[in-house]
Amino acid sequence: MVSSEFWKGKRVLITGHSGFKGSWLSLWLNKLGAEVMGFSLQPEESSSIFYQAKIASVVESIFGDIRDYEIMKSNMLAFKPEIIFHLAAQPLVRDSYLDPLETYSTNVLGTANVLQAARSIDYCKAIVVVTSDKCYENEELNRPFQEQDPMGGHDPYSASKGCAELVTQSFRKSYFQESEVFLASARAGNVIGGGDWSKDRLIPDMVRAVQSGLKIELRNPKATRPWQHVLDPLSGYIKLAESLYKKTPDSDSAWNFGPPEMEDKEVAWITTNFLEMWGSESLWSIDEEKTHHEAQYLRLDSSKAIRQLNWKPVWNTTQALEHTFYWYQQSFLKDEMLNLSLEQIDLYSSEL
């Protein structure tokens, strides 16, 4: 269970609160009674979940760039957060190839900025840095990654997330080892859920294909990924932050939050099943002109989180697709999606 008793009145800062995962986390923590402030770039698209679910109506929003250290630090000092979730990032593999400097400066220097600024917050007790399952050195060994596996990354995005992990580890050992702050990193799989409109992501691309009637081209249909509904890793982040705040031994480390092995699915499986829900199963083809490297196999070992945090994945892949489909379907019929998003959080929480 996620404890509303613990979160009531807690002052929580979320970087990247205007993004897909950050918006869902903002809604959930507000519902639990936390006082939430978000710091992030302003969404460019009016269709973003930030606007569709009216996130600004439930959290204090500050728009800024985590690479602007002085502005971020001044807002952090003014808010005095007890708990920080760092989610702000450049999140797309293809964009990282197009602009690697933007990716490295945001994901690496931005992470260092957040952690350096947090050092000056006397009230801060817990920090969760969210990276990615792609932070690992993937040698295609056909086994799940464990938290102690080496960091790496072929593409600039993956490498930047591996670097962010090393920055987090360095700050923990150099500055937070003897302090009152417990610092951890969290690595999740390929998250899906309502309200993700990012380009070059499978579910949003399929929704746009349904809207336009044009086919989506799959770059790597045989690739296997640890798909999960966005609320699954978020429940892990929330449990982890509570454990850090309480200074539970060994909680200040790295954590995987992925689905069971049986739920790892190929891209083509996700595509076929999701489009069948729309009655548009023929709207995909294979992109024969792949230009960038992509890992074929990726899986996480989450036994540590299951054992030590009492975390568990709740919705299997089919359920995750069904709830995701329903959210998008309803978004075409309604002007705002706040109530439906909260209903899905309630439904998920009832099954924890």
Give the pair of three-digit tokens for residue 173: 């050992």
In order, the DSSP letters of 297-320 are: B--B--HHHHHHS-----S-HHHH
Residues 56-67 pLDDT 10s: 999 999 999 999
**What's the residue count for the chain?**
352
Instruction: Please give the pLDDT value at position 291.
Output: 60
Q: Which amino acid is at 193?
A: G
Q: What distances in angstroms separate CA 291 from CA 102, 182, 333, one per listed residue? A: 20, 41, 38
Q: Which of 27, 299, 75 is nearest to 190 (CA)?
A: 299
Give the pair of three-digit tokens for residue 211: 């809207």
Place of tokens 């992470």: 111
Do the strands 227-229 and 190-192 form a parallel or antiparallel pair, or are they unpaired?
parallel
Residues 77-110 pLDDT 10s: 999 999 999 999 998 888 999 999 999 999 999 9
**C-beta atoms surrounding 183 within 10 Å:** 26
Q: For domain 4-191+230-258+298-315+336-350, which CATH number applies: 3.40.50.2300, 2.40.270.10, 3.40.50.720, 1.20.210.10?
A: 3.40.50.720
Spell out the domain ranges in the chain: 4-191+230-258+298-315+336-350
Over its length of 352 residues, how does the chain's per-residue pLDDT go in tens digits? 788 899 999 999 999 999 999 999 999 999 999 999 999 999 987 779 999 999 999 999 999 999 999 999 999 999 999 999 999 999 888 899 999 999 999 999 999 999 999 999 989 999 999 999 999 998 877 889 999 999 998 899 999 999 999 999 999 999 998 888 999 999 998 999 999 998 889 999 999 999 898 888 887 888 888 899 999 999 999 999 999 999 999 999 999 999 998 888 999 999 999 999 999 877 788 765 556 656 667 889 999 999 999 999 999 999 999 999 999 999 999 888 999 999 999 999 999 8
